[in-house]
Amino acid sequence: TDPEKVLTELQKKLDSNITSVGKLLQPGDNEGERETELEHAAMCSEALMEEYLETGELSAENISDTVAERKLFPCFFGSALKQWGITELLDGLNAYLPKPEYPEEFGARVYKIGRDNAGIRLSYLKVTGGSLRVKMPVGNSRSGAGEEIWEEKCDQLRLYNGGSYEAVDTVKAGEVCAVTGLTKTFAGQGLGYESENSTPILEPVLTYRLLLPPEVDPVVALGKLRQLEEEEPQLHVLWQEENREIHMQVMGQVQMEILKNILWERFGLEVEFDAGSIVYKETLAEPVEGIGHFEPLRHYAEVHLLLEPGERGSGLQFASLCSEDMLDRNWQRLILTHLEEKRHVGVLTGSELTDLRILLIAGKPTP
């Protein structure tokens, strides 16, 4: 591959300030190439140009500031297979990327759910503030608005290197680790001071019925698929109780082939998919109020819900406008939690509802 040709194409198609900087940290080596890189980098901002004209050099600090301002986009060339250019890339990341500043208060972002060879559930997360310690309680008190608020202890902190890991007592801000003992986490969830949950940008648009062998109990298979669902946020598993059928919303043929291989390798399930259909969703055109009974543990509350159309792409949003004098906070939280857990379907095609605000506006508990 011709680096100059590739760089010219990147500048033409993406941004003219994409600049090769692999030689900037190596004074005295390939001075001709380094001087060319200095000139190109200096043209990306007035601050860099002034420094270059005054000193003939560019400081890593000024380059880092220019990168943060999105005025310079560093480009490195190399090959991991041939062990070429790796050192320059790592040195450049260390020198030119802005150093993150982490708060002292604990925070973390879950980015993956997995399981080890023994089937132990692992929450892969990045610590974004403070530090995480073994047996330290963590929870979703900040990010769990409208959800069940929980707190659990971290049994083990693992630093993975390939398939092996090292168990440590503390993980500091900026580091990633796998945590055992957390049973309610999900990919994108914020813990500690993190106040928002991240949701997948892409949503599956096709639904397929899962075809199981006759001897396999669909309920048993459903439990195994639920494990995969929490490990892969873009996989949606739907259970149709009336027909005892499992339907799956996936991205397409490639994901289906991967799923078939995973189900066979991990659970010994040999499955197929039917022809599939497009995923349709329903919403409301006008607000409507509904009244019903919420009946957990042989107690019930009369519940008044207001359903309002939401903005396109907003999904389902849940909130309470009910006074605590009318309905206790614990009741309200329990009702909202169960509303979020349920899959709500429309009356036109039986498709899943979306882009709605479901508001708890009134209620009356049993005496």
pLDDT at 352 (0 to 100): 86
Q: Could you read off the pLDDT of 279-319 as tens digits, one per residue?
A: 788 999 999 998 887 766 556 678 889 999 998 888 889 99
Quick one: which of 279, 275, 273, 278 has its CA closest to 258? Answer: 273
Q: Residue 223: CA atoms inside 13 Å, Cβ hemisphere, count?
A: 5
User: Band of the pLDDT at 85, cuts 50, 70, 90?
Assistant: confident
Q: Residue 189: CA atoms inside 13 Å, Cβ hemisphere, count?
A: 27
CATH entry, 107-192, from 3.40.50.2300, 2.40.30.10, 2.60.40.10, 3.40.50.12280: 2.40.30.10
Angle between helices 60-68 and 86-96 (to 10 degrees): 80
Domain ranges of the chain: 3-96, 107-192, 206-278, 282-365
Q: Could you read off the pLDDT of 27-75 as tens digits, one per residue?
A: 766 778 888 888 999 999 999 999 999 998 888 889 999 999 999 999 9
SS3 category, 185 = coil
Q: Could you read off the pLDDT of 175-215 as tens digits, one per residue?
A: 999 999 999 999 889 999 998 888 776 778 788 899 999 99
Backbone angles phi, psi at 89, to 5 degrees: -65, -50
- Which whole number is the average pLDDT over 105-116? 93
Query: Where does 282-365 sit in CATH, by number?
Result: 3.30.230.10
pLDDT at 293 (0 to 100): 77
User: Band of the pLDDT at 347, cuts 50, 70, 90?
Assistant: confident
User: Band of the pLDDT at 146, cuts 50, 70, 90?
Assistant: low
Q: Could you read off the pLDDT of 2-39 as tens digits, one per residue?
A: 888 999 999 999 999 999 888 887 776 677 888 888 89
pLDDT at 298 (0 to 100): 56
**Which of 42-51, 55-64, 155-164, 329-338 has the lowest average pLDDT?**
329-338
SS3 category, 108 = strand
Domain 206-278, CATH homologous superfamily name and number: Elongation Factor G (Translational Gtpase), domain 3 (3.30.70.870)
| Burial of residue 63 (number of CB atoms within 10 Å: 0-12, 13-18, 19+) | buried
Arithmetic mean of pLDDT over the chain: 87
Quick one: which of 205, 200, 364, 193 has its CA closest to 292? Answer: 364
pLDDT at 18 (0 to 100): 93
